[in-house]
Amino acid sequence: MTKFIIFTDLHMVPEGMSIIGIDPYRRLAAGIQHVNRYHADADRVIFAGDLAHGADRASYERLKALLGELDPPAAIMIGNHDRREAFLEVFDEAATDASGFVQQVIDFADCRAILLDTLFAPPYDYPVSHAGYLCDRRLAWLDRQLASAADRPVLIFMHHPPHITGFIGIDMFRLINEEDFYGLVRRHGNVRHIFAGHVHRTISGSSRGIPFSVFKSPVHQQPMPFDIPDASLSVDEPAAYGIALVTRDGVLVHTEDYEIAKRDAAVA
């Protein structure tokens, strides 16, 4: 049984800065300590993009030092707040494909994990750069990885959800070529689950018959009303990460609100 821990939307900032009064470093450090204590057996901890709020070198260096405290092995992705070149200057050992995109395949005994680079940049022009996109080269790469999975079920990890989530502000910046993505995925028929971030909210369901999970951030969260058109609004709610377990029969998905989680049970 393969276990994944999923952090997304870390939004690291330089020392002394905060986001709506929240210190992303402190929140993530607490999450890493929590994983080390309770999930040291994880097969991979996936950091699913929006690593640094401003894509600056100081934030990436601060994040890299913090990730060095993690006990299980990590796999790192990028999102719309990241800059590919700036990220790779600091995380120079990060996995990339032959075209330089920050994406990789990781095979386990019971599944294949495909981590995608959905960054739609450069150019970094707002609002287009905040949407997700898979160009022809990335789609061709995904096609090859799905084709070569053999009998392994496939899990896809991507920063941008490839479908609407109900939040009208965020949905304007989802993967903009979702039909291309789903056409490819459905043709192969071996994708068992899709994991995403970007929304800063816990969401689950299915799209085109494929189950998906979206996770909250360890920092700030998306306000719950669906009809807010401003995608930049945030609320201070408990930090969280996702837990995914590949079983003989399928995929189990949990969310751990680690800041408020209680391990000592009381008898009712």
Mean pLDDT, the chain, as a whole number?
95
- Residue range 139-171, pLDDT digits in tens: 999 999 999 999 999 999 999 999 999 999 899
- Residue range 83-126, pLDDT digits in tens: 999 999 999 999 999 999 999 999 999 999 999 999 998 888 87
Residue 261 inside a domain? The answer is no
On the question of pLDDT at 254 being above 80, the answer is yes
Percentage of the chain surpassing pLDDT 70? 99
Residue 263 inside a domain? The answer is no
Number of domains forming the structure of the chain = 1
Residue 51 inside a domain? The answer is yes
- Residue range 197-220, pLDDT digits in tens: 999 999 999 999 999 999 999 999
Pairing of β 203-207 and β 210-214: antiparallel
**Structural domain boundaries, residue 73:** 2-256
80 vs 125, higher pLDDT: 80
Q: How confident is the model at residue 231 (pLDDT cuts 50, 70, 90)?
A: confident
Tokens 């210190």 belong to which residue?
23
Q: Residue 112: helix, strand or coil by DSSP?
A: strand
Contact 72, 42 (CB under 8 A): yes
Res 265: pLDDT? 66
Res 127: pLDDT? 77
Which pTM value belongs to this model? 0.96
Tokens 């300590």 belong to which residue?
33
111: CATH: 3.60.21.10
Any residues with CB less than 8 A from the CB of 160 and at least 6 apart, and which? 79, 80, 118, 131, 132, 173, 174, 175, 196, 198
Residue 216 inside a domain? The answer is yes
- Residue range 10-35, pLDDT digits in tens: 999 999 999 999 999 999 999 999 99
Q: What number of other Cβ atoms are within 10 A of residue 78's Cβ?
A: 30
Residue 60 inside a domain? The answer is yes
Res 51: pLDDT? 98
- How large is the average pLDDT for residues 231-244? 93
Res 61: pLDDT? 98
On the question of pLDDT at 230 being above 90, the answer is no
Residue 267 inside a domain? The answer is no
Residue 171 inside a domain? The answer is yes
Res 161: pLDDT? 98
Quote the CA–CA distance of 114 and 94 in Å, as a whole number: 15
Res 152: pLDDT? 95
Residue 128 inside a domain? The answer is yes
